Homo-oligomer: A and B are copies of this chain.
């Protein structure tokens, strides 16, 4: 047979997976630091559950792109297309869960859509959400965690903040009361298309003073200026909501928050603050995080349809990875710190190998006793940082030759000296 991947899927090679695991461990550490618990939900969900996100009669692209299948009992199933629907289903199914329920989840999601460069049918999402409270301090806390994580990853970020309510107020002021969702889709293009095109599209959708609206939606460098500009168009409770979040962000010492009245975020289920995060000084221009408050959505999954407020944010695993790669940080291709080369004395070298491993130094040995040059080539190709040559003469003298594969430097050292040296640089 001719081996092939399924269309739109990919393997993640060790060198990328090592970096990915490093990012995931930073994410997990910070989520737990802020009191978020890990939850796992299945990839297979009932098709009915996946459809419930959008309410009765509303099919979205996400649902059209859902992988559908049946089990042997002819039940309709689908592969999850995000982590929010399974969370909502989980909450509906577990009334014993105590609110506020703060959870994180990192997992694969599936969309049977068109393939583009960097866009796959099977990809990762990483979400944190707070369920069961309308308190806006949690919206601010989510952004504080974002701030901490990107600072640990050595990125400067800009957090863009808006409120779905502000957008509603502004659209209402300009006479759009119904079908605001369709206008929001156009507004989502403000940063991507020439202004004239957006203006024309808005006019087609019945907004006469489209130019005025666009000026209003443009973000200013200074949040005070933006607030002053929108003041007369927004309801007092909307202004209060925005100011509350901004205040908490100040208390949490989150810098670089830009109020952007034009930030739409496509999804119709947002009900309050929405946010999107961008990297400064990076080749990556698309957002690395996005989210917002969705106080009505979980109710769709309940028998009682009671309101369960919620807010959450999603980290773009793949785009963060791309950003780190594009920075050209030193790339690790293997977890191995040191590679042992025996010279026809493999059995005598096993205790040395074991002592290194017992000291938590990631080690590998050529069990096949190939010649030195082949072995150096292998270590080089895998970018293993150190090689240890253990010839019979070296063993007799109780000294081993440690070669730094980057500098080329060689040293004759005792095993204890080697352990001391490598313990400090073990990549674990």
Within 8 A of B (CB), among A24-41: 28-29, 32-41
Beyond A1-B301, A48-B1, is A7–B75 a contact (Cβ under 8 Å)? yes
Q: Does B17 lie within 8 Å of A40, measured CB to CB?
A: yes
| Copies of this chain, tallied across the complex | 2
What chain B residues lie within 8 Å of A252 (beta carbons)? 350, 354
Partner of A40, one of B6, B11, B110: B11
CB distance from A258 to the nearest CB of B (A): 22
The answer to whether the Cβ of A229 comes within 8 Å of any Cβ in the partner chain is no
Partner of A35, one of B5, B75, B137, B336: B336
CB distance from A72 to the nearest CB of B (A): 5
Nearest residue, chain B, Cβ from A94: B11
Q: Does B71 lie within 8 Å of A69, measured CB to CB?
A: no
Which has the most chain B C-beta neighbours within 10 Å: A9, A38, A94, A364?
A38
The answer to whether the Cβ of A176 comes within 8 Å of any Cβ in the partner chain is no
Beyond A42-B6, A122-B43, A303-B1, is A112–B72 a contact (Cβ under 8 Å)? yes
Of the listed stretches A322-330, A355-363, A386-394, chain B binds A355-363
The answer to whether the Cβ of A68 comes within 8 Å of any Cβ in the partner chain is yes
Beyond A40-B12, A362-B35, is A46–B122 a contact (Cβ under 8 Å)? no
Beyond A11-B39, A12-B40, A121-B71, is A357–B34 a contact (Cβ under 8 Å)? yes
CB distance from A334 to the nearest CB of B (A): 6
Within 8 A of B (CB), among A109-159: 110, 112, 121-122, 133, 135, 137-138, 141
User: Residues on A close to B: CB < 8 A?
Assistant: 1-14, 17-18, 20-21, 28-29, 32-46, 48-49, 52, 67-69, 71-73, 75, 77, 89-90, 92-94, 98, 100, 102-103, 108, 110, 112, 121-122, 133, 135, 137-138, 141, 251-253, 300-303, 334-336, 346-347, 350, 354, 357, 360-364, 367-368, 378, 381-382, 428
**Given A11-B39, A11-B40, A36-B335, 18 further pairs, Cβ under 8 A:** A2-B303, A3-B49, A3-B302, A6-B45, A6-B49, A7-B73, A12-B39, A18-B37, A18-B38, A33-B361, A33-B428, A35-B363, A38-B335, A43-B122, A44-B121, A69-B69, A71-B112, A100-B368
